Amino acid sequence: MAGAVAATAMGAMAAVNVIPLPNKVVEGDGALAFANPGAVAAAVTEADDASIPAEGYRLTVSDAGIRIAAADAAGRFYARQTLRQLTTPDGKGVSVPFVTIEDAPRFKWRGLHFDDCRHFFGKETLKKTLDAMAYHKLNVLHWHLTEDQGWRIEIKKYPELTVKGAVRPGSPKPKVLVRPGEPSERGWVNNHIPYGPYFYTQDDVREIVAYAAERHITIVPEIELPGHALAALAAYPELGCTGETFEPWWRWGVSEHIFCGGSDRTIRFLEDVLDEVCALFPSSIVHIGGDEAPKKMWKQCPKCQARIKALGLDGEEGLQGWMTRHFTEYLAKKGRRTIGWDEVLDGNPGTGTVIMSWRGPQGGIQAAARGHDVVMCPIDPCYIDNPQGLKDDPYEYINYGFNATLERCYGFDPAAGIPEGQHSHVLGGQGNNWSEYTWSGSEYEWKMWPRMSALAECLWTDRANKSWASFRARIPAVRTALIRQFRMNAAPIE
């Protein structure tokens, strides 16, 4: 390659305007010209190379043409995403700069959390999100499907879950709160507009799972247990400790009414639900929640207390631990692993349970030390339902006490604080976008992008190759692509 100059990834700025930044780049002099982007894709030749790491690739653009080498289909796909970003208009058509890139991801789990429960966004928003994820080489969509405020997946054996659990008698009015985060009804103002029924049919789920798979994205479904269960209890009150009749909550917060841990009927119900979920989702990992499960009802429930006594459990936390282990073992028989929020550590789950650390990094640090695989998504900075710190932002956010700015998101390191000898337990991380304060797909996109672009680079690019100055120079072009190619309502860059 005449005139080639070796460069580190941080120095490869002129030609390689790509996010996430490739890890090894050699730039050349010149470019290939094409009539349109379709002609670029058609000009690629591919080869297998078993020496390249999983999901990695080698991309060569020279006067001899465009060549991609990879060990697997994912690597070939990611090489084409890089090529897509390298392809730029040149006045007559498009051009691709001469370059050789050798690249592979830092982490296996490069995720985005999608909450359809508080507000429902539907297939169009979800597919656009999957398209943008693929462009950024993100490969896991964590799909939050059940909550106190809504049950969003059809379960054939239990049709009332979507008849009664997918509709609620209103929602909080936007920007009408006495105190942000008020857990009780006091402080919320109901708009009294029935919300729903909103849910995904099983055919919808199959369509979305297939759409994601074409983009090398695994969808990890989340069925919350034992807490965040009020929508299910609205459909089947007998699954709770009191048998009371409920409606899904119209307000935000955490209900004290949770699945009864002492009821064999409740356990069978959850097994049945997971049976249908496993039939729909090929993911090797299933999320079973485990967070924010108040134990007030369990303390008063004769069935729960009897189970605690019969099994010699350590109180109500021990009962939740038993439930976690039960469903971990149940799913293991189906060839699946469980993942749960970091609260499940309190119940001593088996090391086969993956821990998702959200309350901060400490849960993940403790979990890795105890032999668990971990996915890091601490509130700071991975909760992108936090304010962005923009001068002019039309939307409402939950506020955890800081602004999750673009630069703050770029500082995320999933392995921070974990000893090097335990790094093999760090599967990766993700950005979480909860939807209490997000009322439409357009608003969801505004809050997600371009902050997810920053997190995507943290999860793919080696730490030594990252540079905020480099990212800040590259992100405007990617934001423009999000708006033009994906029709995203991406927030501005300040």
pLDDT tens digits for range 351-367? 899 999 999 999 999 99
Whole-number pLDDT of residue 3: 30
Q: Is the pLDDT of residue 177 over 80?
A: no
Is the separation of the CB atoms in 328 and 350 below 8 Å? yes
Mean pLDDT along residues 147-156: 98
pLDDT at 138 over 70: yes
Pairing of strands 109-115, 426-433: parallel
pLDDT more than 70, % of the chain: 94
Q: What is the mean pLDDT of residues 7-36?
A: 78
Length of the chain: 494
Q: Nearest to residue 72, comparing CAs of 89, 101, 51? A: 51
383 DSSP assignment:
B
Phi, psi of 39 (to 5 degrees): -70, -30
Among residues 142, 290, 282, 182, the alpha carbon closest in space to that of 226 is found at: 290
- pLDDT tens-digit profile of 244-278? 999 999 999 899 999 999 999 999 999 999 999 99
Given a contact cutoff of 8 angstroms between Cβ atoms, the answer to whether 178 and 242 are in contact is no
Averaged pLDDT, 337-355: 94
**pLDDT higher than threshold 70 for residue 408:** yes
CA-CA distance, 187 to 189, in Å (whole number)?
Answer: 7
**What average pLDDT does the segment 393-404 reach?**
90
CA distance 451 to 43: 33
- Scanning 261-300, the segments in alpha helix (DSSP H) are 264-280, 296-300
Average confidence (pLDDT) over 424-449: 96
Position 362 scores a pLDDT of 97
Q: What is the pLDDT of residues 56-115, one digit of tens each?
A: 999 999 999 999 999 999 999 999 999 999 999 988 899 999 999 999 999 999 999 999
pLDDT, tens digit (0-9, with 9 covering 90-100), for 205-251: 999 999 999 999 999 999 999 999 999 999 999 999 999 999 999 99
The CA-atom distances, in angstroms, between 275 and each of 215, 269, 320, 330, 335 are 26, 10, 21, 10, 12
Residue 269 in contact with residue 250, Cβ under 8 Å? no
Distance CA 355, CA 425 (A): 10
CA 135 – CA 27 distance, rounded (Å):
22
Largest interatomic CA distance in the chain: 80
Measured in whole angstroms, how far is the alpha carbon of residue 346 from the centre of its chain? Answer: 23
Q: Residue 364: what pLDDT?
A: 98
Query: Could you give the CA distance from residue 164 to residue 292 in angstroms, rounded to a whole number?
Result: 23
Phi, psi of 153, deg, nearest 5: -135, 135
What was the pLDDT predicted at 15? 53
CB-based contacts of 271: which residues, under 8 Å, 6+ apart?
327, 330
Q: What is the mean pLDDT of the chain?
A: 93
Q: How confident is the model at residue 348 (pLDDT cuts 50, 70, 90)?
A: confident
pTM of the model: 0.94
Q: At 393, phi and psi to the nearest 5?
A: -130, 120
Dig out the tokens for 322 from the structure: 């038993």
Residue type, 224: E
**Per-residue pLDDT, 414:** 98
Q: Give me the mean pLDDT over the 389-403 stretch.
A: 90
Percent of the chain at pLDDT exceeding 90: 89
Question: What would the pLDDT profile of 194-207 be if each residue is shown by its tens digit?
Answer: 999 999 999 999 99
pLDDT for position 279: 98
Q: How far apart are CA 344 and CA 351, in angstroms?
A: 11
- Evaluate if residue 39 carries a pLDDT over 80: yes
Q: H or E segment at 6?
A: strand 5-7
pLDDT higher than threshold 50 for residue 11 = no
Full set of structural domains in the chain with CATH: 5-103 (3.30.379.10), 109-464 (3.20.20.80)
